[in-house]
Amino acid sequence: MKIIVPVKRVIDYNVKPRVKPDGSGVDLANVKMSMNPFDEIAIEEALRLREKGVATEVIAVSVGPDKAQETLRTALAMGADRAILVVAEDVEPLAVAKILAKVMDEEQPGLVILGKQAIDDDSNQTGQMLAALTGRPQGTFANTVNVSGDSVHVAREVDGGLQTLSLKMPAIITTDLRLNEPRYASLPNIMKAKSKPLAQKTPADYGVDVSPRLKTLKVVEPPVRSAGIKVADVDALVAKLKEMGVAA
């Protein structure tokens, strides 16, 4: 079976985002960009399933600007077999899910593995939306994935612990942090990735309207906390706690 892994190019997670003074958004000019960390975990899981002989091909897909090619090359260097780039800027999760649904129609994968959320818009929607649009089951926030026959068992991280579901394939899975430890791309593999196939498409090729439904009116810095104090020792801390009524 094939596995499709959607990946997103986002601001690197180590970079502290700066809000533009005019409130129009976050300043992404000359900022280091990387693959969304949850998507790296998704690629890793797909590769492990291929190494186990469960999957035959891993296809990385990105909906994003031209530069998302770099992100797809990273996925190819990690070990994905081929890539598809759908060139479009600032596409909302609903439109991404619609494009991915069309890619699923074309490729007929057994699994689609996505990250649970992108660290830029923090939406946590695309996987669930894709599952709804295709009428397929969803295993969100996956901690463990086991394919058995024509179904997949997914242990999910839920409030309070873990929950295990059995999903009929094809199924949609979104990764949580603890699913695996993604591998690094080695230099020879980075070189090899340059010659792997990368197809370029547009939303129009799939007949998907990507016009946004949400309009961002403004983006501001979060309220700044007023400067605190440092206490010298435990006695001073205890006194403060008593003052606040936290301790008797």
Partner 1 sequence: MKTLVYAEHDNASLKDATLAVVTAASQLGEVHVLVAGSGCGAVAQQAAKIAGVTTVHVADDAAYAQQLAENVAPLIASLMATHDAFLAPATSNGKNIAPRVAALLDVMQISDILSVESADTFTRPIYAGNAIATVQSSDAKKVITVRGTAFAKADENGGSATIEAVSGSGDSGTSTFLSAEIAKQERPELTSAKIIVSGGRALKDAETFAATILPLADKLGAGVGASRAAVDAGFVPNDYQVGQTGKIVAPEVYVAVGISGAIQHLAGMKDSKVIIAINKDEDAPIFQVADIGLVGDLFTVVPELVGKL
3-class state of residue 100 by DSSP: helix
Minimum CB distance to partner 1, residue 197 (Å): 30
Nearest-angstrom CA–CA distance, 18 and 31: 10
Looking at beta carbons only, is 13 or 186 nearer to partner 1?
13
Phi and psi torsions of 134, nearest 5°: -100, -5
Shortest Cβ 19–partner 1 spacing (Å) = 5
Nearer to partner 1 among residue 87 and residue 119 (C-beta) = 119
C-beta of 26: minimal distance to partner 1 in Å?
A: 6
Please say whether the beta carbons of 148 and 111 come within 8 A. Answer: no
Parallel/antiparallel/unpaired status of strands 33-35 and 111-115: unpaired
Nearer to partner 1, 85 or 131 (CB): 131
Taking CB atoms within 8 Å and a gap of at least 24, the contacts of 184-188 are 185/74, 185/77, 185/78, 186/77
Q: What is the dihedral of CA 27, 29, 35, 39, to 10 degrees?
A: 30
Closest CA to 79 of 58, 62, 61: 58
Name which of 188 and 218 has its Cβ closer to partner 1.
Answer: 218
Query: Could you tell me the smallest distance in angstroms from the CB atom of residue 103 to partner 1?
Result: 16
Q: CB of residue 43 vs partner 1: minimum separation in angstroms?
A: 18
* Cβ distance to partner 1 smaller for residue 188 or 245: 245
Nearest to partner 1 of 83, 171 (CB atom): 171
* 8 Å CB contact between 97 and 131: no
* Residue 45 and residue 116 in contact, taking contact as beta carbons nearer than 8 Å: no
Instruction: Please report how close the Cβ of residue 185 comes to partner 1 at its closest, in angstroms.
Output: 22
